[in-house]
């Protein structure tokens, strides 16, 4: 049971950490510098299960490039535009914040979740890399066209460099560890994902505690509206994952589902702070989205498993 709290029942641990981050008294700003280390921890433990050779092999495969291309476009363009259009109809004052949130690249925790649910680890890593590399180009375009926001390219370049460093450092360290300590990595192969999920859950607490001063003065109605809209955005992401996942092998479909649902909300917080001066309509969705996405990933896995079993029975 305890082991499952960093495994199949990770969402319980995540919700407890989120609740603590929202409620534990005190000033937690001193934890802010630890965020890159926990992000790196997520990738480091996940990448211990991914070899450099299998990554290179996947990159050299044309069909993988084709799948990466259209799934990345769906993640960075299709899902944000659908969520933006729906929000524009029902709560226009929140539309820009939902657009900002949903156009973010895949969250680093996708690797841990996809591995836990039986997804293709390498494809998940490549989707994280691809969407993170493309977002400096797609985000300014969407913000300029649909919100009229003038984005500082120097700020975008800084964020792009920051993301590249966060991705490259833990991956490199993981490959060095695999090379220097191959027996250790193999012996504990089944346990590395628990380390990744532990880092992700700690990061949930840190993210909530560090940023709560930006929204705790808001009325409860605003918080509930933001939560409702992030649930809607999660449902849009899940719907696109279900529809488009039909065109992918099962392992790739699970990877895309995790990527579609779990966005890099920390980057959304950074963008909202830099480009909107901490406007709560832009910032709050990026914070409360943790609530629906934590349960969205395992629920979608259950849904896909159920559909897979039905298809297997029908084919038998």
Domain boundaries, the chain: 9-308
Within a 10 A sphere around the Cβ of 100, how many other Cβ atoms? 29
- Encoded tokens for 297: 């990933």
Residues whose CB is less than 8 angstroms from the CB of residue 69 and which lie 6 or more positions away in sequence, other chains included: none
Mean pLDDT, the chain, integer? 87
Q: Provide the b/e sequence for 248-258 (b: ≥16 CB within 10 Å).
A: beebbbbbbbb
Instruction: Extract the residue ranges of the chain whose pLDDT is less than 50.
Output: none
pLDDT for residue 164: 84
- Encoded tokens for 262: 């779990």
pLDDT for residue 99: 94
277: left (phi > 0), else alpha (psi -120 to 50), else beta? left
Rounded CA-CA distance 16/55 in Å is 35
Phi, psi of 106 (to 5 degrees): -60, 140
pLDDT for residue 122: 93
| Alpha carbon separation from 125 to 55, 59, 110, 128 (Å, rounded) | 9, 11, 8, 5
pLDDT for residue 4: 81
Biggest alpha carbon–alpha carbon distance for the chain: 59
Rounded CA-CA distance 66/84 in Å is 26
Q: Provide the b/e sequence for 1-25 (b: ≥16 CB within 10 Å).
A: eeeebbeeebbebbbebbeebbeee
Place of tokens 């479909």: 253
Q: What is the dotted CATH code of the domain comprising 9-308? A: 1.20.1530.20
> How many contiguous H segments (helices) and E segments (strands) does the chain have?
16, 0
pLDDT for residue 275: 66
- Encoded tokens for 10: 């990770």
pLDDT for residue 311: 64
pLDDT for residue 255: 93
pLDDT for residue 290: 87
pLDDT for residue 315: 66
Residues whose CB is less than 8 angstroms from the CB of residue 59 and which lie 6 or more positions away in sequence, other chains included: 65, 126
Helical ranges in 62-181 per DSSP H = 62-73, 79-90, 95-102, 110-116, 121-147, 153-180
pLDDT for residue 83: 97
pLDDT for residue 117: 83
Helical ranges in 148-212 per DSSP H = 153-180, 182-187, 192-211
pTM of structure: 0.87
């Amino acid at each position: 049971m305890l082991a499952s709290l960093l495994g199949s029942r990770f969402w319980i641990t995540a919700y407890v950490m989120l609740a603590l981050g929202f409620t534990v008294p005190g000033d937690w700003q001193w934890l802010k510098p630890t965020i890159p280390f926990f992000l790196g921890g997520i990738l480091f433990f996940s990448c211990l299960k991914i070899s450099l050779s299998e990554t290179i092999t996947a990159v050299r495969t044309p069909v993988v490039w084709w799948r990466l291309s259209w799934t990345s476009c769906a993640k960075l363009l299709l899902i944000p535009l659908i969520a933006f259009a729906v929000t524009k109809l029902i709560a226009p004052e929140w539309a820009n914040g939902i657009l900002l949130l949903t156009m973010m690249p895949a969250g680093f925790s996708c690797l841990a979740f996809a591995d836990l649910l039986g997804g293709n680890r390498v494809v998940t890593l490549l989707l994280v890399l691809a969407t993170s590399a493309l977002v400096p180009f797609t985000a300014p375009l969407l913000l300029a066209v649909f919100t009229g926001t003038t984005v500082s390219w120097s700020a975008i370049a800084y964020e792009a460099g920051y993301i590249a460093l966060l991705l490259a450092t833990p991956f490199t360290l993981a490959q060095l560890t695999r090379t220097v300590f191959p027996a250790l990595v193999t012996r504990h192969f089944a346990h590395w994902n628990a380390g990744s999920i532990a880092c992700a859950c700690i990061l949930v607490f840190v993210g909530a505690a560090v940023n709560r001063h930006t929204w705790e003065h808001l009325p409860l109605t605003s918080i509930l509206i933001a939560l409702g809209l992030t649930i809607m955005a999660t449902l849009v992401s899940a719907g696109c994952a279900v529809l488009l996942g039909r065109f992918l092998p099962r392992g790739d479909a699970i990877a895309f589902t995790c990527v579609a649902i779990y966005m890099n909300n920390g980057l959304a917080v950074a963008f909202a702070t830099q480009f909107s001066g901490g406007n709560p309509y832009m910032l709050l969705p990026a914070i409360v989205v943790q609530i629906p996405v934590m349960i969205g990933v395992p629920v979608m896995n259950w849904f896909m498993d159920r559909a897979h079993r039905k298809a297997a029975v029908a084919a038998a």
